[in-house]
Structure 1
């Protein structure tokens, strides 16, 4: 990289190092550490969800970075990743308190989940389990791009959640051990669960390694009244109660050519299985009667999720002046659902192969230094929803996709930075013949999609403490083709009739962020629109209609002194749908798409260097959408208060965490919005967790 270009980047990082919020919710403890260390020089925060390592001062989008420390802090309350992110990421809907993320959208739309750059989403037939394909103890940090993006393509209408796994220690040998137990205070019997993580890693000369294993056993879940919650609280989408799970992560890296080149192999295997003696009865949403847990099971096989990921990364930091990153990966995901009475039990099987090539090339044109990021992505995905004890009514589908992209990064001296480019995707889906759920024969065929997506964004440094950013981006995704075929009415006789149902979304955003000393703040407004948005009618059939969504997000943090720190976030959005495509948006989007107002807040207090405490609040407002679609039920307000406390004891730390400290008695958002008698379940009551961890 030319020296001048490198120095310009470094200057911008140091100049804007105060902007640690990035329009997001960084953990208070991390914020405190960064502020206190500023006088001695601060390691710049870097994110990779933009395809290349980008200093935080050069981001032109709203991005949330969840650090390892905050992940561990939130996981001490609840190991469900959907819950961890709901309490830390503005714009992400409340947790479903289940293994499924159906109804937990990002800025009102579905999002693409990656683990080390490997897609977890299954667009051909959605599993809605994207956030539960890895254990929290295998995660180093999480980067969330809020708002549609084509950076990685093949989806990401609402944004991108990039999960980055643990990195090896720089010491020759380093170990980590943790063990804990958790239970419901409202029903001690049958609620006890336990977990443990063991990890070793290290670096010896030019080789680094990591091996990590986690096992967790969950007991039954009980609400604030002490009543057992159905193991599948939102129908048959997947629950967390009475589950055993384990995660094995292994890494081996090799640096050579004076560290200019690197080769790394990563293997991760996650498995969660539910073995329960209970199922759901029928409640009455209109009368406020919750869905009960009743003895028995309809399942032929235990429901759960199994996910295996293998990847190989090659990095060359100076190949003819460019930084080159090549990833080859394989993914094998099986998501097994519980059996619904009267229907076959099914599982979605998705097998992926893919490669990603990213090249970062610095250029000089008459002493003007700028960057070009370009490359090619390839993905092959074979997906089927197979019947376990009945016929397979969703066809086998094979997707082959290739995309090329190019983006320019144009520094504007010391006043800002511009980014802009395009991505062209070419997708082909081969579909087998099938007889669907309604008994209609659907002739298979090949669906072809092609789309060029554009993006442009900028950040301008208004003062030494304040900057403004804005962006336009497009995203593109194929429909849930498998579900559309499964539920197709008799007028649909061939897969070719669904070729026009891909969704393109235009996203707009403008925001302001900054900070000075102990104060950090940000605010962003967004708007997105699509001519072919995806919702569901009352009978849960896919409907494709024009829609638009808009909203505001903000974050604020203030450190009073080394002992006290506080902050919070706000998220508000609304959306409308055009039912008959006449240009008149007649109805609100349902609450399974648009979350009510979400507020988070925290206070941290450290009376001693060896003792940390955090009290946090999650508030979900009410919403009464004018909607005739599925998920259009009224949502009533609920507030959750959590408390965590960590003590230095012996060589490690003892943690005590209380989720739902005040034992709030409430129905989850998805239960209230859906209003189904088999999925109108309450959320867990007060839960206490105690754990001990040490590094060695």
Structure 2
């Protein structure tokens, strides 16, 4: 018992000090990989969490980064239950267990749930990330937006044993399907160290893409496209240890990616079987609209007192985030009467938050209790105007105050019981506004509505309880029940209003009930994980096409989503291991007894990852990804509609390898889609909307070197 308490105390100190580990507390790096900070807002052993968690460590990130710099691809490859990568800058349809996840950086929300534009996964470069924690299933412990779970990027820490060290990496990517104009380049660097009580980390990444080519050598379509995209990421973390107990940390992150390309789409269709691809704009013309892409800025300040009282820790977090996500130019946003032949929207979101978290530890004989409690306050102002000045989604001003209490009870070291409650109070103010008149054609236009604004009030109490019994290494079962309170995508409901008063729009919050059972088993060098889950919500949101107006109208109806996940990891030798995963999910609108579309429900997904180090100087990794069939929907008047196109299976293989040239220099190679599979990503097959049916990336090679100092 005392050994375990000492370990937890050291790990808690590690978290409070900006994740700067001393040599004494870093005796075994594998122990660090078995901890998690996201699920309960404190550092705890993953073996004491009664839920399914995926941890992606720095070594895994670096191997995947050699293949692709896109976090959507890295996560889809390594996280069972997360839908396949879209191959674009958007994570639309890339749900976690059939619902939208809340994306965070060091516990600070990055998603824009009031108007979910599905760009939250691309908010930081992988170069700045130490590890990624994925908590699956609806949860309210961090507030609104976590209907499917949480993806938390834990940023890099300073090395405590050095005043100054770092690394620089240079690489170039190109298509082997058609080399012309496909070459891109990337440079990333980081410095870090510790000077007495002061620690620092600074990293920068710059990436310039060439043209992204499919297996046939054609340029992939432009909606959320990455051709000619330029990315900048600047990250800094400063920490100061005032004494043994009190520390402060400041994090600043700026991420921006823009696709500024003189290309235009040749639009195909899922129903015709013709792909969408891009060509150079005709001579004398320019591509319409402004450069598209996400722009994300964060400032986070953390104050930690390890011994506020004898057995109580205090963590204060203050943060500010500014988002400006610019979308593609679309002819669907036309209004010929006002002179608009199309349009381009921007999601703007400004968040300011303050969180106070207390953590108290109590001990009686064979019983240990950890009580986490506190208050969260958040102001989120989000809107979606058009670049041309029109207002599509009016400004939504949310004031959110919540109190929470979370407890963990360790009984005789092997029985863990967790229970918690959160009380949410939200005021959402919207001024009077008028919906846009949008025309799909000359004869098919939406009807603009003048809508009276108001302040919408939401309050909810959500609960969670879980049990884990570590009876033996070969069988560690768990079960949990958790709730999430979700008012995601109110903006989409407002912009399609068909009534004159906001009070008459069906904007009620959705309470998600999540049930999960599973187990972990370790037998010699084999580790297995399995979980099955079911989640229900009384007011889910889907789309239904209105042929009279050409608009996809939101439909709110009860939903049930269910599925299972399995993972097996086998360590054949010290230098050779293999991991296999499989995930299956399905869901229905239970009121109408119809299956949910691909915006929520993904096709089955499996993966095999093989890592081998032939000697001390070299290593290589081979990844196989399988996406299965999902064909649940009939045609309407001979065509597939909405997000209900049929998904056919496909297979992808990626490879990465590295060689240590000397103590300081390393060369590496990554190959995405090794066998040049000609395929449509799952989203491209299911989304029948105009211009979304783009093919996946053909064989793309990444060559580079890294220098450490």
Aligned with residue 558 of structure 2, among 546, 553, 556: 546
The answer on whether the counterparts of 1:641 and 1:662 sit within 8 Å (CA) in structure 2 is yes
- Could you give the per-residue CA deviations for residues 392-419 of structure 1, whole angstroms, max 9, x where no partner exists? 1211110000110001211121331100
Structure 1 residue matching 2:80: 3-state secondary structure: coil
- With 479-488 and 547-556 compared, the bigger mean Cα shift is at 479-488
Within 5 A, what are the aligned runs for 1:299-378? 299-320=288-309, 321-341=311-331, 342=334, 343-364=342-363, 368-378=367-377
Unaligned 5+ runs, structure 2: 11-26, 335-341, 437-446, 546-550
- The 1-side partners of 2:208 and 2:313 are apart by 44
Per-residue Cα deviation, 1:567-594 (whole angstroms, up to 9, x for no partner): 210001111113xx3xxx5211112211
* Structure 2 residue 47 is matched with structure 1 residue 53: no
Superposition TM-score, scaled by structure 1 size: 0.91
Give 1:187's aligned residue: 178
Q: Which moved more, 1:446-455 or 1:124-133?
A: 124-133
3-state secondary structure, aligned to 1:124: helix
Write the distance in 2 (CA, Å) between the matches of 1:85 and 1:155: 19
Alignment partner of 1:275 out of 256, 260, 263: 260
Q: Which residue does 1:200 correspond to in 2?
A: 191
Counterpart of 2:495?
486
Rounded Cα–Cα distance in structure 1 between residues aligned with 2:90 and 2:385 = 19
- Tell whether 2:213 aligns with 1:214: no
- Cα distance between partner residues in 2 of 1:613 and 1:7: 37
- Asked if the contact 1:147/1:158 (under 8 Å) is kept, the reply is yes
1:54-98 Cα offsets, whole Å, 9 max, x none, are: 112211111101111111111111111111100000000000111
Aligned counterpart for 2:661 among listed residues 649, 653, 656: 649
Q: Compared with structure 1, are the counterparts of its residues 41 and 400 closer, same or farther at alpha carbon in structure 2 (3 Å cutoff)?
A: closer
Paired with 1:396 and 1:159, the residues of 2 have a C-alpha distance of: 27
CA RMSD of aligned residues (A): 2.0
Contact kept? 1:154, 1:476, Cα under 8 Å: yes
Q: Say if 1:367 and 1:66 are closer, same or farther in 2 by CA, change over 3 A.
A: closer
Give the Cα–Cα distance (whole angstroms) in 1 for the partners of residues 367 and 215 of structure 2: 63
Partner of 1:589: 596
For the pair 1:408 / 2:421, whether they are aligned, the reply is no
Deviation by residue 1:255-275 (Cα, 9 ceiling, x = unmatched): 022x21110111111111111
1:246 aligns with 2:232: yes
- Structure 1 residue 465 displacement after superposition: 3.3
Aligned partners of 1:577, 1:467: CA distance in 2, in Å? 34
Question: Residues 610, 149 of structure 1: CA spacing in aligned structure 2 closer, same or farther, 3 A cutoff?
Answer: same
Q: Residue 619 of structure 2 corresponds to which residue in structure 1?
A: 612
Looking at structure 1, the residues matched to 426 and 228 of structure 2 have their Cα atoms a distance apart, in angstroms, of: 40
CA distance in 1, matches of 2:7, 2:397: 48
Q: Match for residue 86 of structure 1?
A: 76
State the alpha-carbon separation in 2 of the partners of residues 254 and 485 from structure 1. Answer: 45
Counterpart Cα distance in 2 of 1:200 and 1:566: 33
Aligned to 2:338: none
TM-aligned CA deviation for residue 550 of structure 1:
0.7
1:444 aligns with 2:443: no
Higher mean C-alpha deviation, range 448-457 or range 388-397: 388-397
Q: Please state whether the residue corresponding to 2:62 is helix, strand or coil.
A: helix
Distance 1:300 1:674, change over 3 A: closer
Is 2:476 the partner of 1:467? Answer: yes
Change in CA separation of 1:392 and 1:206 when aligned onto 2, cut-off 3 Å: same
Q: Contact 2:267 / 2:276 at 8 angstroms: preserved in 1?
A: yes
Other-structure match for 1:167: 157
1:568 aligns with: 580
Residue 645 (structure 2) aligns with: 633
Query: Per-residue deviation at 1:9?
Result: 4.1
SS in 2 for 1:537: strand
**Are 1:230 and 1:278, in contact at CA under 8 Å, matched by a contact in 2?**
no
Corresponding residue for residue 423 of structure 1: 422
Q: Which residue is equivalent to 1:23?
A: none
**Structure 2 partner of 1:683:** 696
Q: Counterpart of 2:110? A: 120
Partner Cα separation in structure 2 for residue 42 and residue 118 of structure 1 = 25
> How far did residue 676 of structure 1 move?
2.8
Q: 554-563 vs 172-181, which deviates more?
A: 554-563
C-alpha displacement of 1:294: 3.2
1:461-504 Cα distance to aligned partner (Å, 9 max, x none): 12143201111000011141212111122xx1122223643111
SS at match of 2:602: coil
Change (3 A) 1:603 1:368: closer
More deviation, 595-604/90-99: 595-604
Quick one: distance in 2 between partners of 1:67 and 1:315?
A: 25
1:7: Cα distance to partner?
4.2
Distance 1:8 1:244, change over 3 A: closer
TM-score normalised over the length of structure 2: 0.90
Counterpart of 1:290?
275
Query: How many pairs align?
Result: 656
State whether structure 2 residue 52 is matched by structure 1 residue 62.
Answer: yes
Structure 1 CA distance, aligned partners of 2:563 and 2:240? 46
- CA distance in 1 between partners of 2:368 and 2:621 (Å): 46
Aligned to 1:22: none
CA contact (8 A) 1:472 1:506 kept: yes
Q: 2: distance between equivalents of 1:122 and 1:58? A: 31
Whole-Å separation in 1 of the counterparts to 2:649 and 2:619: 30
Q: SS of 2:296's equivalent?
A: strand
User: Alpha-carbon deviation of 1:239?
Assistant: 2.0
Q: Is contact 1:458–1:471 with CA below 8 Å preserved after alignment?
A: yes
Which is further off, 43-52 or 443-452? 43-52
Contact 2:561 2:585 in 1 (8 A): yes
2:686 to 660, 669, 673: 673
Residue equivalent to 1:32: none
1:143 corresponds in structure 2 to 133
How many angstroms apart in 2 are the aligned matches of 1:669 and 1:43?
Answer: 35
**Inter-CA distance 590–42: structure 2 relative to 1 (3 Å threshold):** closer
User: Is the Cα contact below 8 Å between 2:381 and 2:396 reproduced in 1?
Assistant: yes
**Structure 1 CA distance for aligned equivalents of residues 251 and 31 of structure 2:** 30
Give ranges in structure 1 of 5+ residues lacking alignment: 15-36, 233-237
- Do the aligned residues in 1 keep the contact of 2:72 with 2:86 (CA within 8 Å)? yes
The Cα offsets for residues 297-347 of structure 1, whole Å up to 9 and x where unpaired, read as 553321122111001100111111201111000000000112112332221
Deviations 1:11-64 (A, max 9, x none): 9999xxxxxxxxxxxxxxxxxxxxxx98x9955622111200011221111110
Q: Counterparts in 2 of 1:382-393, with a 5 A limit?
A: 382-393=381-392
Preserved CA contact (<8 Å) 1:556 1:568: yes
SS in 1 for 2:47: helix
Identify if the C-alpha distance between structure 1 residues 367 and 93 changes in structure 2 by more than 3 Å, giving closer, same or farther: closer
Q: Does the 8 Å contact 2:114/2:488 carry over to 1?
A: yes
Residues 1:524 and 2:531 aligned together:
yes
Residue 486 of structure 2 is aligned with which of 458, 470, 477? 477
